[in-house]
Amino acid sequence: MKEKFIPLHLMPIGSTGKVRNLLAKDDARRRMLDLGLISDTFVEALRKSPSGDPIAYQIRGAVIALRSEEASNIMVEMV
- Per the domain annotation, does 62 fall within a domain? yes
- Rounded to the nearest integer, the mean pLDDT of the chain is 92
What's the confidence (pLDDT) of residue 76? Answer: 96
Helices within the chain (DSSP H only): 26-34, 68-71
Q: Is the pLDDT of residue 42 over 90?
A: yes
Structural domain including 50 reads 6-78
Asked if residues 76 and 20 have their Cβ atoms less than 8 Å apart, the reply is yes
Which residues partner with 39 through β-bridges? none
Split into its structural domains, the chain has a count of: 1
Task: Report the pLDDT value the prediction gives residue 69, as an integer from 0 to 100.
Answer: 93
**What is the C-alpha to C-alpha distance for residues 45 and 25, in angstroms, rounded to an integer?**
23
In this prediction, residue 1 carries a pLDDT of 44
Is 74 within the bounds of a domain?
Answer: yes
Under 8 Å CB-to-CB from 74, ≥6 apart: which residues? 7, 8, 19, 21, 22, 23, 24, 32, 37, 43, 66
CATH value at residue 48 = 2.30.30.90
Asked if the model's pLDDT at residue 10 lies above 50, the reply is yes
1 found inside a domain:
no
Residue 30 scores a pLDDT above 90: yes
